[in-house]
Structure 1
């Protein structure tokens, strides 16, 4: 393999953007996605249980006490609570005063029937459009009492307590940290082992999912309890009622370092059933789990052994954009991390579904499809031929001139990967798509990374032209490039401030057009990190 091809591999793996570590970018994107998923999941609370409350407000900003908006009318206090403490229903008490009394009442009370009614009021307040401060609640000590109540045998009380804890755990990360210090992870793990209620199990898992979403340390603390095995067992016994449990497992599978091997193997036990369902939420979360597990080569064989690769390809055509997105991410991980299954994916007709995604209105799906196609184009000549001969190739080339910079860059990488071959027939087929013409247009781009990829692809194409000129002595591809104005662009790029771009432009001019470099004293002894040719 030539130096340009090696450079391309390393660039693709490590430098999606100059000066930015792709692993760090991926980590930040993942953390942001997890928090967004946590927020969306928590916005479903009142669909399940809020009882007349419109929705839960997941914004941290609105979780601070606002005396002008927080409402706690005396009418919300049931008779059983008023009988125990008349101040709770006193008309001259402010909402905050009444709320503080309620919290202290719950902390001190031991009667479970009374506590159930008190927790119900608290749950309604926490799920309301106007909320008390969650931080204030925790500081007073309510979370410690609620965690203690998880050991109760009273299902009605457990239901109300679990909803209160769901609301608390959906707040700022420091609240989750406090609750972990109060042993909530171990307590929930123990309760889940004996839990027979599907609703309660989902609620308990939901709390753990919220907490684990806040940090890797939180995730690890929860994993240490061994709760994953319990949750997996619950899913296999109560699959249709396990959507929140699977969501929690998706959070517990995220992040670096990856969970220990025995945990990964437990997670894989929910498949293939988890991606054969019609439930969109479960499909999304199941694919998220697979995306986390396949983020590296280690477990891809295990994933393949389950027999789910054909189903993942089918999910690329799922009506849900979210399902398509996560399925394409899993497929992309398999392609990037293991050459072993490339041929299998191609034989299963993946090009048809990836090609269809190139027409998708969602930009991120187009990018994922281009990324996967680009990795196929970096395969052996047989694989490259399959992609180039497929109708999707026309769209890949079309995207070389797309108005979206990111889409254009992915298409450039795909074409650049295809040009790494030494097979002149492949280059000839590429030229039927007028690739050189589009590459010359990209030399007008202002983004250095775009210019570098375009120049490397041009160099590979012109090199193939030297192989076909043995009989005539004329490099027709170099001639065509000149006719398209490419040489003029190269001359212009020789004054580019980016050393890598300058070096590639000079290299192409010298190699294919016999033009000697005009040595600029200011560039004498170029930087050690410049482009190197062998």
Structure 2
């Protein structure tokens, strides 16, 4: 009977078109907060799903969920050995960190980052993807929150995911990296570069998903902007990150994006080349082919002449 009641309660909190009237469904928050301590996995799962629905929305809804006192228990449930509990708990935590920096900090104060690091190694791709999404909302926060992610050693794992995971998970990892380059300090951005974030960002420039191409371009632009400042400060005028992007065949890919059908992408590509590289290359031999999955372009690496390059 209790299971059926909690399942029904969860469904009453669900829906977006139209969403349930929050003033009415939020009255169940005290009950849900108590249900989070049940030993029944089915009850736990439905309670977590209900909280994920209630926290999916504007900051006012998120604050109501926070005020119910469920955050610490939700973070604890991230480590539950049953995926059907950990998954909705992760969704609820992820929704809460879409709020403002103060709301995000509530979750961080519950020691969520070590749990998220653990989930990045989950055997379930859906959990890894959701963990990356949650982290991307944390790295969209303030510099202290970005530093907390650094201190938990999450970024090395994110960059590995950016290189090797399924595309849907790589997308979320890309957001996490680019968000950190957008709001991070120069030292934090240099740290990301030292971990090798440039090449996997360059690799994303060839995917068919226009939004992710823009995310990768934005991340590279943030890195190049820092490099320009460093070049001016050192007096050399040399941007140290231009060479790293060229070594990753990123310049070839950015040049190709100047003919992209998306106006924002080709304009961004043009601006990056004009501002940071100052080169124009109309070498048609660099034109890419499309891979078998129709999801990504393949760039041919230029071959050296048989007699070697003339220096």
Q: Please indicate, yes or no, whether the TM-score normalized by the shorter chain is above 0.5.
A: yes
Q: What RMSD over aligned residues (CA atoms) do the two structures have, in Å?
A: 1.9
1:381 and 1:480 map into 2 onto residues whose CA distance is 25
CA contact (8 A) 1:287 1:323 kept: yes
Correspondence 1:282 to 2:43 = yes
Q: What aligned pairs does 1:13-412 form with structure 2 within 5 A after superposition?
A: 202=1, 242-256=2-16, 257-296=18-57, 297-412=59-174
1:447 and 1:397 map into 2 onto residues whose CA distance is 19
- Cα displacement string for residues 385-409 of structure 1 (whole angstroms, at most 9, x for unaligned residues): 1112322211111111224110111
* Residue of structure 2 in register with 1:35 after alignment: none
* Residue of structure 2 in register with 1:70 after alignment: none
1:253 and 1:346 map into 2 onto residues whose CA distance is 26
* Residue of structure 2 in register with 1:416 after alignment: 178
CA contact (8 A) 2:133 2:176 kept: yes
2:61 and 2:207 map into 1 onto residues whose CA distance is 40
CA contact (8 A) 1:509 1:515 kept: yes
* CA displacement at 1:325 relative to structure 2: 0.7
CA contact (8 A) 2:162 2:200 kept: yes
Task: Tell me: CA distance 1:516–1:313, structure 2 relative to 1, closer, same or farther (3 Å).
Answer: same
Task: Tell me: CA distance 1:301–1:477, structure 2 relative to 1, closer, same or farther (3 Å).
Answer: same
Task: Tell me: CA distance 1:265–1:497, structure 2 relative to 1, closer, same or farther (3 Å).
Answer: closer
* Residue of structure 1 in register with 2:244 after alignment: 480
1:353 and 1:422 map into 2 onto residues whose CA distance is 23
* Residue of structure 2 in register with 1:456 after alignment: 218
How many residues of Structure 1 are paired with residues of Structure 2 in the alignment? 278
Structure 2: gaps (5+ residues): 283-311
2:240 and 2:38 map into 1 onto residues whose CA distance is 55
1:317 and 1:431 map into 2 onto residues whose CA distance is 31
Task: Tell me: CA distance 1:335–1:499, structure 2 relative to 1, closer, same or farther (3 Å).
Answer: same
Moved more, 257-266 or 372-381: 257-266
* Residue of structure 2 in register with 1:468 after alignment: 230
* CA displacement at 1:254 relative to structure 2: 1.1
Task: Tell me: CA distance 1:488–1:261, structure 2 relative to 1, closer, same or farther (3 Å).
Answer: closer
Larger gyration radius, structure 1 or structure 2? 1
- Cα displacement string for residues 96-141 of structure 1 (whole angstroms, at most 9, x for unaligned residues): xxxxxxxxxxxxxxxxxxxxxxxxxxxxxxxxxxxxxxxxxxxxxx
Out of 241, 258, 262, which is 1:498 matched to? 262
Higher relative contact order (CA 8 A, sep 6+): 2
2:188 and 2:52 map into 1 onto residues whose CA distance is 33
1:291 and 1:362 map into 2 onto residues whose CA distance is 19
Task: Tell me: CA distance 1:441–1:354, structure 2 relative to 1, closer, same or farther (3 Å).
Answer: same
Which segments of structure 1 move beyond 4 Å, counting only runs of 4 or more? none
Task: Tell me: CA distance 1:304–1:507, structure 2 relative to 1, closer, same or farther (3 Å).
Answer: same
- TM (norm. structure 2) is 0.84
* CA displacement at 1:515 relative to structure 2: 3.3
CA contact (8 A) 2:101 2:142 kept: no
* CA displacement at 1:313 relative to structure 2: 0.2
Task: Tell me: CA distance 1:286–1:508, structure 2 relative to 1, closer, same or farther (3 Å).
Answer: same
Task: Tell me: CA distance 1:490–1:300, structure 2 relative to 1, closer, same or farther (3 Å).
Answer: closer
- Cα displacement string for residues 65-93 of structure 1 (whole angstroms, at most 9, x for unaligned residues): xxxxxxxxxxxxxxxxxxxxxxxxxxxxx
* CA displacement at 1:516 relative to structure 2: 6.3
* CA displacement at 1:262 relative to structure 2: 4.3
- Cα displacement string for residues 485-506 of structure 1 (whole angstroms, at most 9, x for unaligned residues): 2222222222333333221111
CA contact (8 A) 1:401 1:442 kept: no
* Residue of structure 2 in register with 1:185 after alignment: none
* CA displacement at 1:517 relative to structure 2: 9.7
* CA displacement at 1:423 relative to structure 2: 1.9
1:311 and 1:341 map into 2 onto residues whose CA distance is 16
Task: Tell me: CA distance 1:258–1:451, structure 2 relative to 1, closer, same or farther (3 Å).
Answer: closer
